Chains A and B, each alone.
Chain A
Amino acid sequence: MARTTSPGRLTCAGLGKRFGDHAAVTDLNLDLAAGQFLCLLGPSGCGKSTLLRLIAGFETPSSGTIRLDGRDITAEPPHRRPVNMMFQSYALFPHMSVAANIAYGLNRLGRAARGERVDELLRLVRLDGFGARRPDTLSGGQRQRVALARALARSPQVLLLDEPLGALDRALREETQGELRGLQRRLGTSFIVVTHDPAEAMALADRIGVMDRGRLVQIGDAATLYERPANRFVAGLLGDVNLIEGRVLARDAAGIATVETPCGPLLAAGQVEGACVIALRPERLTVSEDPGQASSSLTGQVLDTTYLGDRVRTQVRLADGRLWRVSAPAGSKTMPAGTDVHLSYRPEAAWSMPA
């Protein structure tokens, strides 16, 4: 590498950004260890792109600080930050060749070194021989890779990627996810990817930060977010979930709480006291006609069964009228509509969250 920079530790403390009356980012704290792959996940308008632009330096925070390896970069203009961004629209310079685009950030290098670095980057993104082409003669996937090479040219301490795969079709997106992941492992650069697609976030990242209305709601690995969501929003964002409200009555030595719910007492893991919501993923529930020995179960009536190829989904109406979904591997025994059934689960699979 022509210029090597160690990946940086990025710290945001109390970061806030207001646009007039609208708070785009509120009191955000983030600590990204060097070399990590973080996904910022959230619906559009949740502030994830604003956070990225704050880190890049295109927006000035209304409050808080941004540090890179302990150095305060909050007031530094974008062209002085050792951080590079890959734009959602790629923002390739249309009047320059692919090579000139990639070389744009390398103007401090001598001519020979620059040429070498450009060739190296072209190989890295598998675009050797495309240096003389113009961006408008490339396909979407190729443009995406030019944008990636250009953003990597200066060996940034942190690479920011705004919906990097958003403009690609599905097949290409899945292939590129793997490439992006492999590239990050090889380079060891810290990556922050913004996405609205939970499946993409789970496929890419070491850690996922879920954002909702300008706040970082929860940050953790995919399994933690899926199994132990901080609230309903996170639970619902990461996949289908059955919810039921209740109140914690007691907790045993293993930390399993007994929760009073409209459908009777249920067991669930978690640390909440008082009012709570229990989240149960459809695939953690089992439907059967006899109660069995399960320590925690609910009763209901089968509404319908849908064959989805790899799985079978059963809709069950619970005693209080709410509809729950149960997902079972294909080939499981199906029950006709109207059958009275018991839904059972292991107590650790149920997660109680603050109401």
Chain B
Amino acid sequence: MSQVRVLVGTKKGAFILTSDGQRKKWNVDGPHFAGWEIYHIKGSPIDPKRIYVSQSSGWFGQIIQRSDDGGKTWHQPGTPAGSPTTTADGTPLAESNKFVYDTSDKTGKPLTTHQWYDGTQHPWEFKRIWHLEPSLTDPDLVYAGAEDAAMFVSKDGGKNWKELAGLRGHNSGKQWMPGAGGMGLHTILIDPKNPNRMFVAISAAGAFRTEDAGKTWKPINRGLKSQFMPDPEAEVGHCVHRIAFHPSKPDVLYMQKHWDIMRSDNSGDSWHKISGNLPTDFGFPIEVHAHNPKTVYVVPIKSDSEHFPLEGKLRVYRSKTGGNEWEALTKGLPQKDCYVNILRDASSIDTLDDCGIYFGTTGGQVYVSANSGDSWETIVHDLPAVLSVETQVFK
């Protein structure tokens, strides 16, 4: 029978929730890395035992952890405890938390500043890894999205990281600026039909696409309108909160922008608004059903200044028509006095026949719907604030 593993990153550690395919009874394992912020924890699509973790702290910086046994044991890639610290010739072993921005002339466009909150230029400073995206085909290949925004790649299971400098080298970098949560690269989508094509999203720069595995990038923000910008329709500067697609339809992208739910039918070349009848279209996560490419989920939040559900009612909204027509999903969710938020990486889906939807809240609840959103149950009530949720299905 299929097993489901839900990987939860929180403000104070990681938790692993496991169940069988029924998704009724859950085992809660954790905290792993207790006391550390776990911005993201995600498993390899082709090797479920391989799990990558972004562990960070304002005091001690960035750590990358890896498990090769489904989360039973962990190590920092390249630096396992008790192993030699150097190679035979004395070269220091890999440092898996070494994320260094590429400022070499070889990239052609070394970039050292971006726009600060007050409009002045500010140097790029590494703060943490927001998102880890393992390859669809190679468990040792993994991408990382950083704050300050940049994309890194490791081809050796997280031991060494190299910046894909063409993204920051795009000549728009000086117009990028931090969102309220920082200037993070938070979304990485890999086209399953063409792994050289990837999409990323950055707050607040916008969405970008590469066709050559990250060497060069193109902004894909036409159709977005952001009233906080001097030019609301500028090429970059938009606060994109999340993008998603269905693996069978990678040309159809869905976006939760700061405000506005958007859709592109041409790989991001242009976008149109699909907020339709939503009561508010501010929010963070967006998901696509595992088996119905036109079924989309969002969790509307009251506003950019009030990050909690409208009227204290936690409602997931589902569209079965690719947007515009939305229905509230409330069964099993609190409909009174609920003032939590759902962060951009804190939702996920599973691929079981009856698609499971998951999300975690800043109040520490993790919810599951085992029937495509029709009804919801609480897996766990009182975790630390949830930063990320990912799922794995395996035999």
Q: Do A and B bind each other?
A: no
